[in-house]
Amino acid sequence: MNVKELINIALDARERAYVPYSNFKVGAALLSKSGKIYTGCNIESASFTPTICAERTAISKAVSEGDRDIEAIAVVGNMEDFTYPCGVCRQVIREFGKNATIIIAKSEEEYKLYSLDDLLPYSFGPEDLDK
Ligand code: THU
């Protein structure tokens, strides 16, 4: 996996964010186990609730194309600080990427790597329903 390339693609995707209400742009780039890359940006709504985060946009694109296994996902926000996935996105990453690497980046040079377990310990997932 090329971490810097994935961050660069997420930075590009961030430009397409539709954020008239928060003005907080987020970009994501998802690398699937099949080797394909899916991008995502946050898309807001005047009625607020339908807003979708960049991470879930990318995951929805991957899953709807039949790609259900996340190898890695890079996330970039537009603030000085690192932008971490919200709780809902962590749970959705859990569904399709129990062993995924989560790249939290400000730039190609400044990033941190996490496992899903770092961000969502003691998680509940598909296997729990099989017991
Ligand atoms: N947002 C994301 O896209 N991803 C995150 O990980 C955190 C929050 C978006 C949702 C909303 O459009 C804006 O950031 C402010 O919450």
Distance separating alpha carbons of residues 54 and 129, to the nearest angstrom: 28
Answer yes or no: is the C-beta of 44 below 6 A from any ligand 1 atom. Answer: yes
**Is residue 34 in contact with ligand 1, taking CB distance under 6 Å?**
no
pLDDT in tens, 10-24: 999 999 999 999 999
Residue nearest to atom 2 of ligand 1 (CA): 53
pTM of the model: 0.97
* Residues marked as catalytic: 55
Task: Give per-residue pLDDT as tens, 42-65.
Answer: 999 999 999 999 999 999 999 999
pLDDT, tens digit, 9 for 90 and up, residues 71-116: 999 999 976 889 999 999 999 999 999 999 999 999 999 999 999 9
Whether residue 3 has its Cβ less than 6 Å from ligand 1: no
* Class of 3-116 in CATH: alpha beta
Q: Give the residue, by CA position, lying nearest to ligand 1 atom 5.
A: 85
